[in-house]
Amino acid sequence: MDKLVLSSYDTILFDMDGVLVDSEPLWKTAMHEVFSSLGSNLSKSDFQLTVGMRIDQVINYWQEKEHWKTTSYIIENQIIKKMIDLINEEGKLIAGVKETLLFVKSNKKIGLASSSPRALIEAVLKKTEIESLFDGIFSAENETHGKPHPAVYLTAAHNMGSNPSTCLVIEDSLNGVIAGKAANMTVICIPEKSHHPNPKLTVADFHFNNMEDLLIFLKSENNHS
């Protein structure tokens, strides 16, 4: 596929963390604080290994290496509580997000498909006041598998009455990109800036430096279609 043609898609599915809201640094802060309280020496840079995964999968990944005595359920609740507090204090939309949502909403269905639990999604949408712009909101919390499994994207397409082949996914992480590709969807990657660039992100179909660049392209492409 050589060119991104917006008219080829009837549905655009957005990841949330690192795509809509600048929350990846907040995740690192929340995990570092909670893991440190358990006696862990993990650094914030270590968490790049689990970006895009569902929080229970993240905890299980590190639990196997760290052997914490506290249950995963308690750890998860502590992290989510801290994340909601951080979102309420510091959460903000990434530049160009609201403008992009408003632009594509005129003739596309828009969905949110996130690895984050529903409680955190609701906190983000309330804080940023963008819930009304989405036609569907989906959490991998409700799936048997989180990203990189395609379940949440397939559920989103099904519930929105869309064929996966006509869905355009916007992701920031390798796990998210793999999930979108595995769902047979076209994937745009806008790498999250607080992580080191991952060369494997080249598996995405298209790449943009930021949401503002994507919006400029979409407007230009729309004018010439």
Q: Which residues are known catalytic residues?
A: 15, 17
Tokens 């600048």, residue?
22
β-pairing, 136-139 vs 167-171, is unpaired
Give helix 55-66 / helix 72-90 axis angle, nearest 10°. 130
